[in-house]
Structure 1
């Protein structure tokens, strides 16, 4: 964590402590047993208020704005079915953090201190500097568990579990096992892993390096070497390092733990250098990317990691998701993408736990409902809490962009996780 982020977090913690002291005599403790709707933040007699934090914009142009639409879709259906505990969900939409740590923290503070939400769902960004504040303020928060903050804190939940655990937790093996199936096995095969030079990138390298090695691959390259603040204009140096492999032999697969703009540049440069091995990333499952020929060509053949059922699935729950998105989009057929699913499943986990909590909804009753919660056969596999705050749910699939369309290359399945060291 940078000094700037640490300073912001420290300042926020101090401000939050002052705020908590000032408001204690007015609002009471929202987690106190027997608290009524009148003194539980965000809960009224007929509604529960929820907000989100989403990177609608970013310096690179990458956007997760459809995460907001996905959450809206799930909340609309929940309300049509009677809400949670007899209350409608008042979803006030998502704050844009611009993938900026300072704005992420500011968004969290605004949602709690000004908008007075009961929960934050979804939270979708590569930065989560507001995590400590939301944990301190006892705000149930739901998002994609690709950040360490979703692994451990009692009020933060990854919709598909914890994907970046601390030592003692486990690693999801969907990606290594999926690439092994694409290559016909991992024995004698090598993989190169590349990420941005950021805290998230470095942690990703650490986890995936261990995961691919455990699956039987030789990891020939594993570095968080690409600048996190700007997309390189020249990828030649990275390509040379990646293709050098073990003893000058190019790896059988190149795995990028980066976002779309970086992946387009890297994969284009690798193809121009004559690389014919497997290319894979965890972000480029988006039909909207196919609108431009250059983008479609750059990503052609790439296997994309999913940690949910592919849109191509015939599962009835996927049909329900598609119908809900269409309804939220005003009856229009819109191109589906993984951001929509991120928002939808974040909202779905919140709704499922809130329903279990029932009419007497307080922070304490919500947390009690989360303990021992289980929900099998969802679009992300079998969910359970508090397991998901330490381990992933272990499920996923790979899809490949081929001739301008996505097709399932490795079907959705669950894999036995491995201990993270």
Structure 2
């Protein structure tokens, strides 16, 4: 490189440094979320822009589209009540990531770079490849804390806390304690835990294996071995392993950490093999499933984990939720699902923190509000941040599908969490 070129490069670098310093000084809040005019991205004097990322479609046919309805319902009520500190919520609906990592990242980029959202609420998918990008861009994101990306990162919030903690965090014991009640105690009882062969599935095995063991169960089988990309057409090998995992004795409960299509296949195969123990999963609380004969038969008798109050509850919070969903559906009664509530409570947590942040809504003020946020008596129990970025809120229930209808098997309650190792 010639002396002249080196000199020009040095001058250019110096100018770039000065420009960067001037930009930071003039951004208004210096928090990384401001645009060229010094205003916080997605925030005007009259509105706050929010978008979502939801698996509306997937290769298996599984859909979380009701998550979008739930978020829209909560934001509609907020706007009817005057918005947040005088600003209406401009919810631009959710991007469909197709449950595909590439599309998840693309959706995150679009919402930030093109749509200029202040926050992402909800984010509901089994993949969250856009997590690092949203953290880099300092975008608050709200969703179901079933992924490690909701446990620890500064700008991510699970609507019921962190459900997949890192070592040093805690485990929600609703599921193990609930199954213990169903079985009349955990002593001398065994469970088999099965999940998809994916990062989320492997982490689920690790967490629930510890949780059920801490509750007093013997974990006779724990594998993330079911293909994540497609539902197996033959479940016989899995059934043989599960039923023989406890020294040749069938487990007292089979715990599936999978989505509905896999659960239908596995549970049907287990029943055909003569299994009479407890079947349980965390995903199949969906009245829409009852309209399908195959699904209804496969899931009959299954205990489903909920980390919120069951829809069968009659309290005022549940009545408000149902009224909001009906209003967002144009006055129509629509089937409720856990996805509906995921979107609703993701939006609700965002709104609650934004309200606490005050009229001068900047990223800094929002994050400061989150650092001392707490409330009580919600549909997911008592909430607190930043506790929820490390631990779950610890509450839940079990419902059982019986005779074509859900009934509360273990009422909504909060349990003392256990350390995660």
TM, length-normalised to structure 2: 0.93
* 1:243-262 correspondence runs (5 A): 243-262=243-262
- Aligned residue in 1 for 2:401: 401
Q: How far apart, in 2, do the equivalents of 1:154 and 1:26 lie? A: 23
Say if 2:110 is the partner of 1:134.
no
- Aligned residue in 2 for 1:292: 292
The alignment partner of 1:39 has SS state of coil
- Aligned residue in 2 for 1:215: 215
Q: How far apart, in 2, do the equivalents of 1:366 and 1:210 lie? A: 35
- Aligned residue in 2 for 1:170: 170
Q: How far apart, in 2, do the equivalents of 1:341 and 1:87 lie? A: 24
- Aligned residue in 2 for 1:319: 319
- Aligned residue in 1 for 2:387: 387
Q: How far apart, in 2, do the equivalents of 1:313 and 1:150 lie? A: 28
Q: How far apart, in 2, do the equivalents of 1:34 and 1:306 lie? A: 35
Q: How far apart, in 2, do the equivalents of 1:35 and 1:60 lie? A: 40
Deviates more, 1:238-247 or 1:31-40: 31-40
Conserved in 2, the CA contact under 8 Å of 1:239 and 1:266?
yes
Structure 1 residue 30: deviation in Å?
5.4
The alignment partner of 1:406 has SS state of strand
* 1:368-379 correspondence runs (5 A): 368-379=368-379
- Aligned residue in 1 for 2:27: 28
Q: Report the CA distance shift for 1:32/1:399 in structure 2 as closer, same or farther (over 3 A).
A: same
Q: How far apart, in 2, do the equivalents of 1:127 and 1:72 lie? A: 22
Structure 1 residue 315: deviation in Å?
1.5
The alignment partner of 1:212 has SS state of helix
- Aligned residue in 1 for 2:411: 411
The alignment partner of 2:110 has SS state of helix
Structure 1 residue 31: deviation in Å?
4.8
Q: For this pair of structures, how many residues does the alignment match?
A: 401
- Aligned residue in 1 for 2:16: none
Conserved in 1, the CA contact under 8 Å of 2:121 and 2:346?
yes
Q: Report the CA distance shift for 1:44/1:179 in structure 2 as closer, same or farther (over 3 A).
A: same
Q: Report the CA distance shift for 1:43/1:196 in structure 2 as closer, same or farther (over 3 A).
A: same
1:89-140 superposed Cα distances (whole Å, 9 cap, x missing partner)? 0000000000111100000000000000000000000000100110111101
* 1:233-252 correspondence runs (5 A): 233-252=233-252
Conserved in 1, the CA contact under 8 Å of 2:165 and 2:390?
yes
- Aligned residue in 1 for 2:75: 75
The alignment partner of 2:164 has SS state of coil
Structure 1 residue 26: deviation in Å?
11
Q: How far apart, in 1, do the equivalents of 2:198 and 2:32 lie? A: 42
- Aligned residue in 2 for 1:15: none
The alignment partner of 1:344 has SS state of helix
Deviates more, 1:243-252 or 1:180-189: 243-252
- Aligned residue in 1 for 2:143: 143
* 1:176-215 correspondence runs (5 A): 176-215=176-215
Conserved in 2, the CA contact under 8 Å of 1:38 and 1:44?
no
Q: How far apart, in 2, do the equivalents of 1:415 and 1:234 lie? A: 38
Q: Report the CA distance shift for 1:371/1:32 in structure 2 as closer, same or farther (over 3 A).
A: same
- Aligned residue in 1 for 2:15: none
Deviates more, 1:38-47 or 1:139-148: 38-47
- Aligned residue in 1 for 2:13: none
1:296-326 superposed Cα distances (whole Å, 9 cap, x missing partner)? 0000000000000000011210000000000
Q: Report the CA distance shift for 1:261/1:31 in structure 2 as closer, same or farther (over 3 A).
A: farther
Q: How far apart, in 1, do the equivalents of 2:358 and 2:34 lie? A: 14
Moved over 3 A (4+): 23-27, 29-38
TM, length-normalised to structure 1: 0.93
Q: How far apart, in 2, do the equivalents of 1:357 and 1:33 lie? A: 17
Q: How far apart, in 1, do the equivalents of 2:228 and 2:28 lie? A: 40
- Aligned residue in 1 for 2:3: none
Conserved in 2, the CA contact under 8 Å of 1:27 and 1:39?
no
Aligned-residue RMSD, C-alpha: 1.8
